[in-house]
Amino acid sequence: MKIKIKIEFVGYLDIKNVKDNTWVEMEQSLTISEFLLEHGIDIENQKYIISTVNKKVQPLTSILCNNDELFLHLPVGGG
């Protein structure tokens, strides 16, 4: 079953073939990690990404569902 998710991410993430703030159609439900793998972000680099689904922080093992809104960003620190 095809699903659509809305994806937003900060500019310094390079997600292949996906534009920021767009709806993406997928052939089936995937985990966030699987989605990232399909779009060029390997497992080693995924550990730095914070994922939010429908405005709640979720682990990368969460399964994306139809009409989910996925926001990806990297932690920022400073002092």
Whole-prediction pTM:
0.91
Q: Please tell me which residue, 79 or 38, carries the higher pLDDT value.
A: 38
pLDDT at residue 76, rounded to an integer? 81
pLDDT at 66 over 80: yes
Q: Which domains does the chain have, with CATH numbers?
A: 3-73 (3.10.20.30)
> For 48-62, how does the pLDDT look when each residue is reduced to its tens digit (9 = 90+)?
999 999 999 999 999
Apex 22 CA angle, 16 and 24, nearest 5: 65
Q: Are 21 and 70 in contact (CB under 8 A)?
A: no
pLDDT at 41 over 90: yes
3-class SS at 69?
Answer: strand
